[in-house]
Structure 1
Amino acid sequence: MDCRISQLQTSYESGELTPRKLVATLRQQAREYADYNLFTHLLTEQELEFYLTRLESTDPNSLPLWGIPFVIKDNIDLEGIPTTAACKEFAYMPKQSATVVQLLIDAGAIPLAKTNMDQFATGLVGTRSPYGVCHNAFDFDMISGGSSSGSAVALSLGLCSFSLGTDTAGSGRVPAAFNNLIGLKPSKGLLSTSGVVPAVRSQDVVSIFALNAQDAYTVFDTAAQPDSTDDFSRTEITLTPPAWPTKPVIGIPDKNSLIFNDDAKAEANFIETIKTLKTLGFEIKEIDFQPWLETAKLLYGGAWVAERYAAIESFFEANESVLDPTVGNIIAGARNLSAVDAYKGSYALQKAQNETQSIWKTVDCLLTPTTPTIFSIEEIESDPIGLNSILGTYTNFMNLLDYAAVAMPTGFRADQMPTGITLFAPAGSDRKLLQLTDELHAHFVDVAGAKKTPLPTANSSLFQTPDTIPLAVVGAHLTDFPLNTQLTERGAQLLKTTQTAPKYRFFELAGGPILKPGLVKDDSKGSSIEVEVWAMPKQHLGSFLALIPSPLGLGKVELIEGDQVVGFICEPYGIEGATEITETGGWRNWMQQKNPPK
């Protein structure tokens, strides 16, 4: 069954498929994978009836996720279905769904199951659960990754269209790498954690597993809503990551910072990945990655372990003996931590934030292996804490340093196990990272998951920042020109470099001190002029407009592609005494002619 969102939507619209038929098929297939230990609860026909009946009374085009099946990690509440966090003694019956789950249901999605996980989201392996070890979709003897193990494997085996996990230390990325999936770790606060059993509450995020970046984007776009019931909730519009050029500069760890745990197969794949990116025209910069690697140690080696204890303190004290031994030992370690340790940890993190901040002046995003290697279930059982720590080498620092991240498959190792890389950038970069992933994904693999689901054709126009308008600039606001900061300081992001329709004359206006261009529409004598199109947050458009001096203003500018966007225009009187520069084709060319390089 091809469960890509677009594919199901097409089948529903044609009448070829109904949600009821789909759910029946998926429930039957799920039972065939019982020995994989994917679920803590597979919804019954009676429990699904409410969702199916509701959809049957509406039109398939009426909701963005109409009839789209998904599964939910069992530390996220679904109304009327027990939440266990993979601890049967902890189980409770939620009276309402977690905010993020309810948003998806309201959009038409169908919850199929609660999924197995490392107990209390403590682990990157998928083996720490009373519901059994969760097995890898490609090799039954290998770990699935965790803690969002069942969510990833169920998707990889074709049992849903997307799935929800949580990600504190890598739980939404490690299983994605091991099961040939996209794993989006959103910026903290963009997806509500209200109705989620905390692991490290100040660092937790709800993550999204998808077959491709377009599906991940559709789910993210639906679920990324502010929530007044979540004290850590924040909105995208408040986050202003640096603007990217059309081809972002990518930073990677230098040779001294690359760790593969002597896994030659993983190292070979990473080297080939970097070669491919260079072939595609990306600038790659090697950096000293030690500050990030040191920060990763803070999550389990510092006072943040105390948050795991705080999340379940009363239950833990009364039921410590029933916990998975490894999970219990990790959480119990918090008893030896003090307020002094917490302050020391916060100081260490502040230092790390300062040390790593400057890198964003030289690169647009960073890229690492998602994990150094992969282990068998048997290997993990022999050293559950030590090997788990290795898996978190490139994931544990992400939330501490407030990054958005996307895990992306980059092919298969020599032993045919999937592997991949993670792209990350400052908070608020979620959509840009997904767009970049959409552009790159098919250069490394042509199918998703373990059922060889085809990848869609890349579609850059899908990934738009919400509550923005496209704004065309032609002069001093261009990238690397004096007034560009008026855009970037308002959170504007570069969408593309293009040209106007061949209907404009272009002038250098008289006056100064900053030279200004004038764009005037002239159907008979006009030409195409180079422009940059930026996504400007609507809330900042007014303050930007106030900075524009007469005779310039904002109006509609027609692009060569045929669409019209808001852009700089010049009143006709403004070209009196101006120098016509139409033949140069744009401001950048004109400035180079005026100031040729010595």
Structure 2
Amino acid sequence: MRSAVRSSFFPLVRDVASVYGELETLRDRSVFISLKKREEALAEAECLEGGDVAGKPLYGMLFAVKDNIDVAGMPTTAGCAAFSYTPERSATVVERLEAAGAILVGKTNMDQFATGLVGVRSPFGIPQNALRADLIPGGSSSGSAVAVARGFVDFALGTDTAGAGRIPAAMNGIVGLKPSFGLLPATGVVTACRSLETVAVFAREVELAFKVMQVCAGFDPEDPYSSRMPEPSLGAVPPRPRVGVPYPDHRQFFGDSAAEAAYEADLERLADLGAEIVELDFMAFIEAGRLLYEGPWLAERYLRFRTLIEERPSTILPVTLGILSEARQMGAIEAFDSFYRLAELKRRVEGLMEGLDCVAVPTIPRFYTMSDLAREPVRYNSHMGTYSNFVNLLDLAAISVPVGQRSDGLPSSLCLIGPRGTDGLLSAMGRMASAGMRSAAPLRATGGRVELAVFGSHLSGLSLNGELKAAGASFLRTTQTVPDYRLFALSSPLPARPGLLRVGRGEGIPVETEVWSLERDAFGALAAGLGAPLSMGVISLADGTEAKGFLVEAAATVTAEDISEHGGWRAWLSVRR
């Protein structure tokens, strides 16, 4: 298996030649639908070796893309030879990856028209599961997941509507990152459900998956669904994250006791790492998931491939054609009924997730074998989407990570789900869950983000922390101020709020502090909202760093209560209660 760590001193050309030597002699030709020409990839490697590596965060990494993502000069089939065309330009995400120093190897197999979660609905063969040959590979991004899991490439792109960026990851024991909708542009991507589908990332480590997402992210005016969102930042996990999980009687494993036990063990790991596990009603999530194939979004799939369906149906796999043809029975009345119901479910889910840092579910309810699928091809495909179908419909972000091990030796994966824009927090949670430990070294802000020290109601778990998260803030570290400050409870206006006052050197006490990072614009908006007696200043911290933070005017502390002896706002609140 290739290492995902490269440097300019590594013989890149030799590495690329070695990978092609392996792929070209591979008996199993079902992972890739097409390979880039060897000489082209070698020429790119030679050019990289002789150039400046500065500004190339993915220098020399090899990648593949699902065959519904355009690569200039290579056919795009979307899993159907009759649909094939050869684009003159690569997808925006591919262009950005290559500009960052990555080298594309080929285009991977997929369930035809991205219609399936099992990975066996392709006329180009079935990619062999990387864990066990009798298991299905998962879909629809089957080839991308297998290519990463078997070490052919460092990372790969897929797409995700119903779980195709997460389920194959879990089936092959790797990381699958499904970004917030609109964060990664879909220009040059054959989307089955344009209003929902996202480009997804497969890698063997969370850090690399996140780095790839960062490179791909950014507004694209050519994509009408692209959004201007803060650049995602991989921070740390708050000290006491609140993690929602389904009530026990809402969990479904379809008879797989090993999966059920592994999920319980994975939740115990989260609790051991400091998470507060909160059980919640999961039926709104499940109902939303059913709408994906029972509602108008099936018609959206039909619309995308309408010409081929109606003019050359014999060129489409019978199972795919059968699913898509059901869209003909749907009308505008039923469509609006589904839109209204989804809006109601979104509002209910917002309430359920309020105050939570994320929701943690099994990525897949169980493992299925090839022989299982032969017996029940449609029903078991439906089962695979139990914990994934609802995510895009509810406008959520998600990441699947391998966490523990089942009793049969297969990996157990958790899918961590959060509101749109929480990609950094979810990835930090995934990294912690997968590693079984928190980051040892204190984290600092990167990419020009501003460090903000908070010590009051903006602390994690307190009433105003949601404002930080809504502004795209990422938690970095817990620390204290130097002993040059005193903390006051300002009683006017009510409710009480904290005021941090700088005093003489050594005349104060260390105050509990959390440091978060924000984009400059978000920080500016936060600072602009401050009013007397608070102002923005620079806070000196016990870890030797400085950060921006709220300071209080001395005059406002004359009638305020000095609560410094408690060491922090959270401690004072607990005593006050």
Find the partner of 2:452 among 464, 471, 474.
471
**Alignment partner, residue 488 of structure 2:** 508
1:352 aligns with 2:370: no
* Distance verdict in 2 for CA 1:58–1:571, change over 3 Å: farther
What pairs up with 1:406-425 in 2 under 5 angstroms? 406-425=399-418
Find the partner of 2:568 among 537, 562, 586.
586
SS of corresponding position for 1:518: strand
* Distance verdict in 2 for CA 1:460–1:427, change over 3 Å: farther
**Alignment partner, residue 230 of structure 2:** 237
1:518 aligns with 2:500: yes
1:177 aligns with 2:157: no
SS of corresponding position for 2:78: coil
Whole-Å Cα distance in 2 between the matches of residues 367 and 90 of structure 1? 38
1:283 aligns with 2:276: yes
1:220 aligns with 2:213: yes
Matched residue type, 1:508: F
* Distance verdict in 2 for CA 1:566–1:37, change over 3 Å: same
- Single out whichever of 54-63 and 196-205 deviates more from structure 2: 54-63
Q: How far off is 1:224 after superposition?
A: 1.1
- Single out whichever of 98-107 and 339-348 deviates more from structure 2: 339-348
Matched residue type, 1:364: D
Matched residue type, 2:488: E
**Contact in 1 for aligned 2:232/2:424 (Cα 8 Å):** no
**Contact in 1 for aligned 2:112/2:121 (Cα 8 Å):** yes
Q: How far off is 1:574 after superposition?
A: 6.8
Whole-Å Cα distance in 1 between the matches of residues 216 and 443 of structure 2? 16
What pairs up with 1:46-61 in 2 under 5 angstroms? 46-61=39-54
* Distance verdict in 2 for CA 1:186–1:57, change over 3 Å: same
Find the partner of 2:186 among 193, 200, 206.
193
* Distance verdict in 2 for CA 1:487–1:418, change over 3 Å: closer
**Contact in 1 for aligned 2:247/2:279 (Cα 8 Å):** yes
**Alignment partner, residue 530 of structure 1:** 512
Whole-Å Cα distance in 2 between the matches of residues 506 and 547 of structure 1? 23
Q: How far off is 1:370 after superposition?
A: 1.0
Whole-Å Cα distance in 1 between the matches of residues 67 and 413 of structure 2? 26
* Distance verdict in 2 for CA 1:537–1:317, change over 3 Å: same
* Distance verdict in 2 for CA 1:461–1:220, change over 3 Å: farther
Whole-Å Cα distance in 2 between the matches of residues 63 and 93 of structure 1? 28
Q: How far off is 1:185 after superposition?
A: 0.8
**Alignment partner, residue 320 of structure 1:** 313
* Distance verdict in 2 for CA 1:372–1:554, change over 3 Å: same
Find the partner of 1:560 among 520, 527, 542.
542
**Contact in 1 for aligned 2:424/2:474 (Cα 8 Å):** no
Q: Unaligned stretches of 5+ in structure 2?
A: none
**Alignment partner, residue 69 of structure 1:** 62
* Distance verdict in 2 for CA 1:462–1:156, change over 3 Å: farther
**Alignment partner, residue 450 of structure 1:** none
TM-score by length of 2: 0.92
**Contact in 2 for aligned 1:431/1:463 (Cα 8 Å):** no
Whole-Å Cα distance in 2 between the matches of residues 144 and 117 of structure 1? 10
Whole-Å Cα distance in 2 between the matches of residues 580 and 362 of structure 1? 29
Matched residue type, 2:420: A
Find the partner of 1:44 among 25, 37, 48.
37
Find the partner of 2:267 among 266, 270, 274.
274
Q: Unaligned stretches of 5+ in structure 1?
A: 445-456
SS of corresponding position for 2:230: helix
Q: How far off is 1:296 after superposition?
A: 1.1
Q: How far off is 1:551 after superposition?
A: 5.6
**Alignment partner, residue 260 of structure 1:** 253
**Contact in 1 for aligned 2:245/2:280 (Cα 8 Å):** yes
Whole-Å Cα distance in 2 between the matches of residues 500 and 300 of structure 1? 54
The sequence identity of aligned pairs, in percent, is 38
* Distance verdict in 2 for CA 1:488–1:53, change over 3 Å: closer
**Contact in 1 for aligned 2:109/2:127 (Cα 8 Å):** yes
* Distance verdict in 2 for CA 1:386–1:592, change over 3 Å: closer
What pairs up with 1:114-125 in 2 under 5 angstroms? 114-125=107-118
* Distance verdict in 2 for CA 1:526–1:133, change over 3 Å: same
TM-score by length of 1: 0.89
Find the partner of 1:433 among 404, 410, 426.
426
* Distance verdict in 2 for CA 1:460–1:183, change over 3 Å: farther
Count of equivalent residues: 573
Q: How far off is 1:365 after superposition?
A: 1.1
SS of corresponding position for 2:19: helix
Deviations 1:350-380 (A, max 9, x none): 2211222211224321111111112212221
**Contact in 2 for aligned 1:3/1:160 (Cα 8 Å):** no
Whole-Å Cα distance in 2 between the matches of residues 290 and 482 of structure 1? 27
* Distance verdict in 2 for CA 1:85–1:465, change over 3 Å: farther
* Distance verdict in 2 for CA 1:466–1:376, change over 3 Å: same
**Contact in 2 for aligned 1:472/1:534 (Cα 8 Å):** yes
- Single out whichever of 408-417 and 76-85 deviates more from structure 2: 408-417
**Alignment partner, residue 2 of structure 1:** 2
**Alignment partner, residue 436 of structure 2:** 443
Deviations 1:267-287 (A, max 9, x none): 221122223223333211222
SS of corresponding position for 1:389: helix
**Contact in 2 for aligned 1:509/1:574 (Cα 8 Å):** no
Q: How far off is 1:24 after superposition?
A: 1.1
Whole-Å Cα distance in 2 between the matches of residues 204 and 165 of structure 1? 10
